[in-house]
């Protein structure tokens, strides 16, 4: 891959400009970490057919970002606002499903499964400036916690949370 694309333009600058216009914080963070815009030196990659970089930098695709995207950003910011203190300051470990359910509540309509999966990516992008970790748990919801919480502590807190929920559920069954 070359830092100069087949049109003779500087690919780094084209992608950087597209990322700024798209307000794509993850891509901006990656690109701003590239010394002198030298994509070859950092071994940057894109798909063999180059369609992803073409689609990403395409003027019509950037212009087509709809008001619905803006509404999505507003809802994502609301979810972050509601959970920020618990996650960042109180160092709580929260199952990702709780954040996703809150997003769906605020969004107010039924969502497709595909978009529901994108909520995680949108939250990760929006939380790019602060240390928030999404810890995968095979067969269970990811854990969301402060990046300053160790993985071991996060898993312990999740275990205690699951035990508490199981105890509450057992008590509710006994009450029936």
Give the side-chain half-sphere CA count within 13 A for 21: 17
**C-alpha–C-alpha distance, residues 31 and 79, integer Å:** 27
Q: β-pairing, 94-95 with 132-137?
A: unpaired
Q: Which fold has domain 67-175?
A: Arc Repressor Mutant, subunit A (1.10.10)
For the record, the structure tokens of 161 come out as: 């949370």
Give percent above pLDDT 70 in the chain: 78
Least confident of 1-10, 24-33, 39-48, 147-156: 1-10
The per-residue pLDDT for range 118-161, each reduced to its tens digit, is: 788 788 877 776 778 888 888 888 888 888 878 788 778 777 87
| pTM of the entire predicted model | 0.53
**Alpha-carbon dihedral sign for residues 32, 33, 37, 39:** negative
pLDDT confidence of residue 8: 44
Q: How confident is the model at residue 16 (pLDDT cuts 50, 70, 90)?
A: confident
CB atoms within 10 A of CB 37: 16
Phi, psi of 131, deg, nearest 5: -85, 95
Decide the pairing of beta strands 140-146 and 132-137: antiparallel
The ranges assigned to domains in the chain are 11-63, 67-175
In contact, 3 and 38? CB cutoff 8 Å: yes
Summarize the chain as % helix, strand, coil (round to 5). Answer: 60, 10, 30
Cβ–Cβ contacts within 10 Å for residue 103, how many? 21
Q: How far apart are CA 49 and CA 44, in angstroms?
A: 15
CA separation, residue 127 to residues 24, 30, 49, 66 (Å): 12, 14, 31, 22
């Amino acid at each position: 891959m070359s830092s100069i694309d087949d049109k003779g333009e500087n690919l780094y600058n084209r992608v950087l400009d597209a990322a700024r216009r798209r307000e794509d914080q993850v891509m901006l963070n990656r690109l701003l970490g590239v010394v002198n815009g030298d994509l070859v030196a950092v071994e940057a990659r894109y798909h063999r057919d180059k369609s992803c970089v073409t689609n990403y930098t395409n003027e019509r695709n950037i212009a087509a970002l709809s008001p619905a995207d803006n509404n999505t950003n507003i809802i994502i910011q609301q979810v972050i606002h509601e959970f920020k203190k618990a996650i960042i300051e109180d160092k709580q470990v929260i199952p990702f499903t709780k954040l996703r359910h809150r997003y769906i509540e605020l969004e107010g309509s039924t969502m497709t499964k595909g978009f529901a999966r994108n909520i995680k990516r949108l939250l990760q992008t929006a939380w790019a400036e602060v240390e928030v970790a999404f810890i995968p748990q095979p067969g269970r919801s990811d854990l969301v916690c402060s990046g300053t919480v160790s993985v071991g502590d996060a898993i312990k807190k999740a275990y205690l949370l699951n035990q508490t929920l199981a105890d509450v559920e057992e008590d509710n069954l006994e009450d029936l």
